[in-house]
Structure 1
Amino acid sequence: MAFSLMCFVLLATFLFMQTLADTSCTDCFVQSRASFYSNSEENGTDAGACGFGSFGATINGGDVSAASSLYRDGVGCGACYQIRCTNGGYCSSNGVTIVLTDQGSGDNTDFILSQRAFGGMAQSKDASTSLLALGVVDIEYRRVSCSYPNKNITIKIDESSSNPNYLAFVIWFQQGRRDITAVQLCETQNFVCKLLERSHGAVWTATPPPSGPLSLRMLFSTEDGDDTWVVPVNNIPEDWKAGETYDSGVQVDQ
């Protein structure tokens, strides 16, 4: 009797631990649906809600997507996902890796892919044509690390900025799979820092910004609440200009 009870307890403990492992799996695929931008070019849109502009249409070779709930009020901008359709007659086992650059949904989908990315889930060129003809397909997806070889995190000053009264920028080429959840700008001379606002999407703003050369600080967060501040090697110069890009001198890998 005691042996049977012990076996039951061990089995229950195993099943409980297995359930915890299943619910906390960060690499597991999630079932969903995807469509594509039917009224756009092969690449994504340069008017995406993330505020990336033309960069958002061509980054990652044009394999980009809009998302619905995964947009997360802009926090999801720049995140990368592996997406693969589940129709064995047309779809490859690897699918395609996309970057989120926009917000949108339709026909109960989590993703609206660029035409290039949608067709990229197929096994062949002929299968790609057939896949595009379907319009909407069942998929499975998971978050993966972004990779930009030989690129540092880059600051793109938005064209709406006006030195010294208003500064808006987006952050390009963020590797890994953490989210940027907060950004500070600090004056390099007296170390006074200002916590910036997320205007929309991936656009961070300051009105007015701190003066002089500016040191940037970015808070990278994981889904389980692990936060890390990253401070670039290079500063944003005092004479920053709208439309310019500035290499931060740093990159992240996780």
Structure 2
Amino acid sequence: MDRTLSFFCTVSVLLFISPSNSQSTFNCSRASYYGSLDCPASYRGACGYTDLGLQINGGDVAAVHRLYRGGTGCGACYLVRCTYPQICNTDGVNVVATDFGVGDNTDFILSARSFAKLAQPNMASQLLAYGVVDIEYRRISCQYPGSNMLVKIKEHSDYPNYLAIIVLYRAGQKDIVDAEIWQEDCKAWRKMRKPYGDVWDMENPPKGPLTIRCLTSGDDGQKWVQLSGVIPSNWQAGVTYDTLVQLD
């Protein structure tokens, strides 16, 4: 299987979020929205997903506040439900955190598309008029049937002197809290830096195919996940590589 994929292939991968193995209790908060149904907001995003942050999960995405956790919360999936029974449905919407945002005592700033999905049939315009609503939410597992994790080389990387990566399509409820690259000539792991969001980088990375390991953290503790030879020796900025593995 060819590890190299274009960025346009990555955005075509559908995100499926399942409530299995999720938190059993809901937390109370508030949510607002950005953009509009007709004209989505321009996007940069604190997590580092760039334009993918508008397309992942079919556009059902959110900026989060306390849940951002210095970028560790990027990529986490949540079930969000509005608590106004006269106008909100009981299903809510499943969203993925792709940005940081602070609102009016809100934990979530949803895309307009996602906010509208909180409403009962034919009541989206009335709900959007509220601007901010009371919600309940819980973290749920992300599921990517048939898809492995992908490592994208950030566009501002500079071969061979500077490498910045982001790990996309992580299943389950695992956070990545550390990342290292194996340096073969020294027989040692070199720690990567986390400059912002979900991005990991390194000045003067090792030569040759690069093996990365990520420290994941979840309810069952912490575990290193090794991605052997995932980045080729002639890596290129903007290119996405298939890890051939997926989180449990």
Is the shorter-chain TM-score for this pair beyond 0.5, marking a shared fold?
A: yes
Change (3 A) 1:179 1:76: same
Q: Distance in 1 between matches of 2:225 and 2:109?
A: 32
**In the alignment, which of 241, 245, 248 is matched to residue 236 of structure 2?**
241
TM score, norm. by length of structure 1 = 0.84
Q: Distance in 2 between matches of 1:188 and 1:42?
A: 49
Mapping 1:16-165, distance limit 5 Å: 26-38=23-35, 46-124=43-121, 126-165=122-161
Change (3 A) 1:45 1:145: farther
Structure 1 unpaired stretches of 5+: 1-24
TM score, norm. by length of structure 2 = 0.86
Q: Distance in 2 between matches of 1:139 and 1:223?
A: 24
The alignment partner of 2:231 has SS state of coil
Post-superposition CA distance 1:94-146 (Å, at most 9, x none): 2011110110111110100001111111221x111211111110000000011
- How many Å apart are 1:252 and its aligned residue? 1.2
Structure with larger RCO (C-alpha < 8 A, sep 6+): 2
Q: Distance in 2 between matches of 1:40 and 1:73?
A: 29
Change (3 A) 1:155 1:42: farther
Post-superposition CA distance 1:183-212 (Å, at most 9, x none): 111135764321101110001000011211
Post-superposition CA distance 1:28-76 (Å, at most 9, x none): 1000000000469665753110011011111000000001111001000
The alignment partner of 2:128 has SS state of helix
CA RMSD of aligned residues (A): 1.9
The alignment partner of 2:230 has SS state of coil
Structure holding more strand per residue: 2
Change (3 A) 1:196 1:69: same
Q: Distance in 2 between matches of 1:188 and 1:28?
A: 46
Q: Distance in 1 between matches of 2:108 and 2:240?
A: 29
The alignment partner of 2:57 has SS state of helix
**In the alignment, which of 149, 166, 171 is matched to residue 170 of structure 1?**
166
Identity of aligned residues (%): 46
Larger radius of gyration: 1
Report if aligned partners of 2:209, 2:231 keep a CA contact under 8 Å in 1: yes
How many equivalent pairs are there? 227
Structure holding more helix per residue: 1
- Runs (4 or more) in structure 1 with deviation over 6 Å come to none
